[in-house]
C-alpha cells in the first residue's frame, strides 16, 4: 500500500517523478484545472461580496474519482501542481475535493524536475498559500466580470459570438492604435550624403554627413542636396578629431519567459504558443535513453533573471573545461531582475549541465532540440566574459559641414562564440557590434583628406512598424500588460477571435477588430486603458504579497466598471442596425444596395428588405470604390434547377451554392475530387473549416466516416507506398513540399 501520494498538474510529470521515488509513493495528475466558474452563468454573487461559485469541470470528474481513490490509500498527500498562481489554485481545488481528514497534507514546489529538486521538496514541504490563491481567484473573477458582461453587449450591437477580455482587448487596442498611426503617417522626403575619402594611409573610407553649422543635418530636397554637394566639392576635408577606445559587449542575462518567446520568434520563427508548448515538454521530462524521463530545463514561466548559486558554480566549471579560463570572468555574473518581477522562480536555464544538447540530440524532436540548445547557449553565454571591440570614430569638417566615420574591430569574442542576441529589424537600439569589420585608416587631427566621391541618397521617412510576435510580447511586458504565463495565450486568443491576423510575421487588425476596438475604447475607457490594466496586474501582485485584499481589489474595480456597463448598454452604437448607402443597385428589384454588418462581416443588402432579400459580397478597390464581388464560377450544375453552381463562403468554409439563390437554395460540399481512403467509404474529401476558422479536408460521408486531414490533398498517388493521394505541406524551414499522409511512409519531395 502506498504511504504517500503526490498530485501533480501534468501527466507527463508522473513518469519523471516516479523514476526518482520508491514504491512508497503514488503519483497522480490532475491534467490541468479541475474546477472553474460555471460556463452557464457568471458564477459570481456581486451583491454578496463577490462570492464565487466553483463547479467541477465535467471532463474532470473521472480524474477527481481517481484522485479520491488514491487519497484514501495514502497517509500523506503532497500537492505538487506548477509553482505559480494557476498551480496554487489547482492545489486548493484538489484539497477541497478529496478527503483530507486524518491526513497530512503539504504543498511542494518543483523549480525543475531533477531528482535532487524532487527529493529536497519532499524533505522540506510547505503549506497551501492563501495569498497566492487569492491572487489567482481575483484574476479569474476580474476576467469573468469583464467577459460575461461586455460580450452580450457586443452580441446585441455588432454580432453574436463576439467576446471581450480584460487583457486581450488591451492587446488588440495596442495593435489597432499602431495601425492608426500607420494610416495617419505622412511620409517625408529626406536626403543623406556620404563621402568617400582618402587619407595619407590606406584604406579609403566612407563618412556620413551628420551636422550642418552645428545642427543635425536635415536635407529635404534633391535640389538642396545638389547645392550642398557642389559646395563640398570646392571645400577642403580636414580631420577634426579621432577617437579610439575599447568597448565591451556584455552577455545578455539568462531567459525570462518573455525574452525566451522573443528570441524563439526571431531566431527559430516559433510562435509564442509553440515556444511554451515545447518548453513545457522540456520541463516536464524527456526520455533520454538509459536514464529514462529527465526534466531538462527549469520552470518556464518566470520574470526573474536570478540563478541559484549551485547552477552558477556548475556553469563556471563547464566554461573553464569547455572554453578555457580566458572566457571565464573572475566572479559569477549576477543579474538584477526588474522592479515588477515576482522573482518567485529562477531564470529559465538547463536543469543540469550533465546533458549538453549535442549529447542528447537523438532523443529530442527537431524543434525540442533547437529550443533546448537556445536555452543552453543563452545560459552558458550569460556567465562568460564580455566581447571586446576596438572602436574608432573619425570626425571630418568641410566648412560648416561635419562628417563622421565609424569602425569596429573585435579584439576578443568572449560570450559571442556561444551566443548572439537577435534584434528586430526595425529596432532603434544600437548593438555592440555595429560597424563590425569596418576598418578605418590611421588618421591624425588636422590631416587633410582627399574627397574621391560624394553620394547623395534620396530617402523617405517610414511609419512605425507593425508588431511581430516578438515585439508585441516586448511591448506587453514593458507596459505591464499580462504576466509571463499569459503572453502566449493572449497572442493566440486575439487571433482565434478574428480581431487580428498575423500576415507575413506582422499583426494586422481585421476590420472586425477595428470596429470592436473603437466601440470598447469609446464605451469602456478604463478597461481599455493600458495604465489601468497595468495597475490591475500590480494589484494582483500586491494581493499575493499580502498588502491588498481580494475584496478591496474587486470593489475598487467594479464600481467604475458598473457605471461604464450601464452607459454602454444604452449608448453604444448599434452597428447591426447601421446602413451605409451605395450607388450599387439590386440585381433583383433595382433598389439601392446598402452596406450592413452580418455574422461574417460587412455585406451588400437590398434597401427594399424585407420585400427583397437580395444580398451579395463586395470588395473595396485601392481608391476606396465599392464593387460587387464576382462569384467564383464552376462547371458544376445544380441538381435541383439546372443552373450553374458557384463557390460561396460560409461559417464553416467554402461550399457550392446555386446561382439561382434565393429562388433555389440548393448547396453541396466543395470537394477536391479525391476519394476518401477509408475502405468501402466511397465519399469524397471536401474543404471544410473548424469553428475557429482553420481549414481542413474531411469526408463528405461525415459523421458516418470521420476521416479528416489538415493538409490540402494532391491528386497524385504516392510513388513509394501507393497511397491514393499526397498532401501539400509548407514548412518555414523546408518550404513547400508534397508528402505522403501514410504515417508508415516517409515519402516527401519539394514542390
Residue 440: helix, strand or coil by DSSP?
coil
pLDDT value of residue 343: 59
Both 221 and 159 in one domain: the answer is no
Q: How far apart are the first and last CA of the chain?
A: 59
Spatial separation of the C-alpha atoms in residues 303 and 481, rounded to whole Å: 13
User: Which grid coordinates are listed for 52?
Assistant: 464565487
Both 374 and 265 in one domain: the answer is yes
Both 240 and 299 in one domain: the answer is no
Both 50 and 145 in one domain: the answer is no
Does residue 681 lie in a domain region?
A: no
Both 148 and 110 in one domain: the answer is no
Does residue 211 lie in a domain region?
A: yes
Average pLDDT for 91-100: 93
Average pLDDT for 179-199: 96
C-alpha distance from residue 562 to each of 145, 150, 565 (Å): 10, 10, 5
Q: Residue 230: pLDDT band by 50, 70, 90 thresholds? A: very high
Does residue 684 lie in a domain region?
A: no
Q: Are 464 and 179 in contact (CB under 8 A)?
A: no
Higher pLDDT among residues 22 and 470, named by residue: 470
Helical spans, DSSP H, in 361-484: 366-382, 469-479
Q: Are 690 and 676 in contact (CB under 8 A)?
A: no
Beta strands in 399-438 (DSSP E): 401-412
Length of the chain: 751
| pLDDT per position as a tens digit, 304-334 | 999 999 999 999 999 999 999 999 999 999 9
The residue with cell 520563427 is 269
Q: Residue 339: pLDDT band by 50, 70, 90 thresholds? A: low
Average pLDDT for 445-472: 96
**pLDDT surpassing 80 at residue 342:** no
Both 17 and 162 in one domain: the answer is no
Which CATH number does the domain housing residue 292 bear?
1.10.290.10
Average pLDDT, whole number, for the chain? Answer: 91
Q: Are 275 and 262 in contact (CB under 8 A)?
A: no
Q: Is the peptide bond before 703 cis (omega within 30 degrees of 0)?
A: yes
CA nearest 390: which of 407, 375, 367, 366?
A: 407
Both 144 and 123 in one domain: the answer is no
Q: Residue 433: pLDDT band by 50, 70, 90 thresholds? A: low
Bridge partners of 67, per DSSP, are none
Find the domain containing 436 and state its range.
189-250+387-460
Among 356, 382, 408, residue at a domain's last position: 382
CA dihedral 537, 539, 540, 542 (to 10 degrees): 130
- 419 is known as an active-site residue: no
**pLDDT surpassing 60 at residue 733:** no
Does residue 598 lie in a domain region?
A: no
**pLDDT surpassing 60 at residue 528:** yes
Does residue 583 lie in a domain region?
A: no
Among 382, 399, 414, residue at a domain's last position: 382
pLDDT value of residue 341: 60
Both 170 and 246 in one domain: the answer is no
Q: Are 289 and 249 in contact (CB under 8 A)?
A: no
Does residue 576 lie in a domain region?
A: no
| pLDDT per position as a tens digit, 126-173 | 999 999 999 999 999 999 999 999 999 999 999 888 999 999 999 999
Both 262 and 362 in one domain: the answer is yes
C-alpha distance from residue 610 to each of 67, 156, 583, 586 (Å): 59, 20, 20, 13
Which CATH number does the domain housing residue 487 bear?
1.10.460.10
Residue 162: helix, strand or coil by DSSP?
coil
Residue 115: helix, strand or coil by DSSP?
helix
Average pLDDT for 173-195: 97
Average pLDDT for 540-565: 95
Spatial separation of the C-alpha atoms in residues 575 and 187, rounded to whole Å: 33
Spatial separation of the C-alpha atoms in residues 352 and 315, rounded to whole Å: 10
Q: Are 595 and 580 in contact (CB under 8 A)?
A: yes
User: Which grid coordinates are listed for 74?
Assistant: 495514502
pLDDT value of residue 1: 47
Both 395 and 454 in one domain: the answer is yes
**pLDDT surpassing 80 at residue 102:** yes
β-pair type (580-585, 506-509): unpaired
Does residue 101 lie in a domain region?
A: yes
Both 50 and 198 in one domain: the answer is no
Q: Residue 688: pLDDT band by 50, 70, 90 thresholds? A: confident
C-alpha distance from residue 47 to each of 338, 454, 555, 556 (Å): 38, 76, 11, 14
Which entry of 299, 372, 487, 499 is annotated as an active-site residue? 299
Q: Of all helices (H) and strands (E), which one includes residue 653?
A: strand 653-658
Among 460, 487, 518, residue at a domain's last position: 460
Average pLDDT for 440-456: 96
**For the chain, how many structural domains are there in total?**
4
User: Which grid coordinates are listed for 324?
Assistant: 578555457
Both 39 and 79 in one domain: the answer is yes
pTM over 0.85? The answer is no
Does residue 264 lie in a domain region?
A: yes
Spatial separation of the C-alpha atoms in residues 248 and 245, rounded to whole Å: 10
Which CATH number does the domain housing residue 437 bear?
2.70.20.10
| pLDDT per position as a tens digit, 378-416 | 999 999 999 999 999 999 999 999 999 999 999 999 999
Torsion sign over Cα 282, 283, 286, 288: positive
CA nearest 239: which of 33, 395, 388?
A: 395
Amino acid at each position: 500500500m502506498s504511504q504517500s501520494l503526490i498530485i501533480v498538474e501534468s501527466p507527463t510529470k508522473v513518469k519523471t517523478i516516479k523514476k526518482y521515488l520508491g514504491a512508497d509513493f503514488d503519483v497522480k495528475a490532475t491534467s490541468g484545472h479541475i474546477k472553474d466558474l460555471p460556463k452557464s452563468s457568471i458564477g459570481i454573487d456581486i451583491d454578496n461580496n463577490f462570492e464565487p461559485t466553483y463547479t467541477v469541470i465535467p471532463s474532470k470528474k473521472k480524474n477527481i474519482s481517481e484522485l479520491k481513490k488514491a487519497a484514501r490509500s495514502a497517509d500523506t498527500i503532497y500537492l505538487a501542481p506548477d509553482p505559480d498562481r494557476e498551480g496554487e489554485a489547482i492545489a486548493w481545488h484538489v484539497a477541497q475535493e478529496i478527503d483530507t481528514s486524518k491526513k497530512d497534507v503539504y504543498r511542494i514546489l518543483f523549480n525543475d524536475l531533477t531528482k535532487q529538486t524532487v527529493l529536497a521538496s519532499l524533505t522540506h514541504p510547505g503549506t497551501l498559500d492563501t495569498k497566492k490563491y487569492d491572487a489567482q481567484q481575483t484574476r479569474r473573477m476580474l476576467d469573468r466580470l469583464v467577459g460575461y458582461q461586455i460580450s452580450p453587449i457586443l452580441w446585441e450591437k455588432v454580432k453574436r459570438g463576439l467576446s471581450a477580455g480584460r487583457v486581450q482587448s488591451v492587446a488588440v487596442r495596442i495593435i489597432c492604435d499602431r495601425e492608426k498611426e500607420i494610416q495617419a503617417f505622412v511620409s517625408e522626403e529626406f536626403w543623406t550624403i556620404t563621402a568617400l575619402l582618402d587619407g595619407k594611409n590606406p584604406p579609403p573610407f566612407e563618412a556620413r554627413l551628420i551636422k550642418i553649422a552645428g545642427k543635425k543635418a536635415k536635407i529635404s530636397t534633391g535640389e538642396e542636396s545638389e547645392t550642398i554637394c557642389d559646395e563640398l566639392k570646392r571645400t577642403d576635408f580636414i580631420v577634426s578629431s579621432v577617437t579610439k577606445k575599447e568597448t565591451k559587449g556584455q552577455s545578455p542575462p539568462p531567459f525570462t519567459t518573455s525574452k525566451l518567446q522573443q528570441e524563439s520568434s526571431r531566431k527559430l520563427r516559433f510562435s509564442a504558443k509553440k515556444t511554451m508548448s515545447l518548453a513545457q515538454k522540456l520541463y516536464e521530462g524527456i526520455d533520454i535513453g538509459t536514464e529514462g524521463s529527465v526534466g531538462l530545463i527549469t520552470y518556464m514561466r518566470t520574470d526573474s533573471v536570478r540563478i541559484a548559486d549551485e547552477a552558477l558554480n556548475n556553469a563556471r566549471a563547464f566554461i573553464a573545461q569547455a572554453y578555457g579560463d580566458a572566457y571565464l570572468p573572475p566572479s559569477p555574473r549576477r543579474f538584477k531582475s526588474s522592479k515588477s518581477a515576482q522573482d518567485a522562480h529562477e531564470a529559465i536555464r538547463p536543469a543540469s549541465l550533465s546533458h549538453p544538447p549535442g549529447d542528447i540530440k537523438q532523443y529530442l524532436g527537431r524543434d525540442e532540440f533547437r529550443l533546448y540548445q537556445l536555452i543552453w547557449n543563452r545560459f552558458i553565454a550569460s556567465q562568460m566574459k564580455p566581447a571586446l571591440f576596438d572602436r574608432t570614430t573619425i570626425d571630418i569638417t568641410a566648412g560648416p559641414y561635419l562628417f563622421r566615420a565609424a569602425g569596429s574591430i573585435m579584439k576578443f569574442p568572449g560570450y559571442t562564440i556561444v551566443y548572439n542576441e537577435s534584434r528586430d529589424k526595425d529596432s532603434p537600439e544600437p548593438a555592440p557590434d555595429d560597424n563590425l569589420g569596418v576598418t578605418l585608416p590611421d588618421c591624425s587631427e588636422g590631416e587633410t583628406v582627399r574627397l574621391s566621391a560624394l553620394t547623395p541618397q534620396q530617402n523617405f521617412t517610414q511609419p512605425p512598424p507593425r508588431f511581430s510576435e516578438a515585439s508585441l510580447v516586448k511591448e506587453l511586458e514593458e507596459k505591464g500588460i499580462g504576466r509571463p504565463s499569459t503572453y502566449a495565450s493572449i497572442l493566440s486568443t486575439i487571433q482565434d477571435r478574428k480581431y487580428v491576423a498575423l500576415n507575413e510575421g506582422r499583426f494586422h487588425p481585421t476590420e472586425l477588430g477595428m470596429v470592436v476596438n473603437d466601440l470598447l475604447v469609446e464605451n469602456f475607457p478604463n478597461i481599455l486603458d493600458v495604465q489601468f490594466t497595468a495597475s490591475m496586474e500590480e494589484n494582483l501582485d500586491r494581493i499575493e504579497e499580502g498588502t491588498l485584499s481580494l475584496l478591496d481589489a474587486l470593489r475598487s474595480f467594479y464600481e467604475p466598471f458598473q457605471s461604464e456597463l450601464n452607459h454602454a448598454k444604452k449608448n453604444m452604437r448599434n452597428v447591426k442596425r447601421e446602413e451605409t448607402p451605395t450607388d450599387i443597385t439590386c440585381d433583383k428589384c433595382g433598389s439601392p444596395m446598402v452596406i450592413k454588418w452580418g455574422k461574417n462581416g460587412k455585406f451588400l443588402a437590398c434597401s427594399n428588405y424585407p420585400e427583397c432579400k437580395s444580398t451579395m459580397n463586395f470588395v473595396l478597390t485601392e481608391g476606396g470604390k465599392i464593387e460587387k464581388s464576382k462569384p467564383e464560377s464552376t462547371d458544376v450544375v445544380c441538381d435541383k434547377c439546372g443552373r450553374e453552381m458557384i463557390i460561396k463562403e460560409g461559417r464553416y468554409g467554402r461550399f457550392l451554392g446555386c446561382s439561382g439563390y434565393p429562388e433555389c437554395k440548393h448547396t453541396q460540399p466543395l470537394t477536391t475530387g479525391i476519394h476518401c481512403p477509408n475502405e468501402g467509404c466511397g465519399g469524397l474529401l471536401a474543404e471544410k473549416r473548424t469553428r475557429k476558422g482553420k481549414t481542413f479536408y474531411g469526408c463528405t460521408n461525415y459523421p458516418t466516416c470521420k476521416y479528416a486531414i489538415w493538409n490540402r490533398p494532391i491528386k497524385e498517388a504516392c510513388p513509394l507506398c501507393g497511397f491514393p493521394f499526397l498532401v501539400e505541406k509548407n514548412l518555414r524551414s523546408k518550404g513547400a513540399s508534397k508528402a505522403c499522409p501514410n504515417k508508415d511512409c516517409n515519402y516527401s519531395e519539394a514542390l
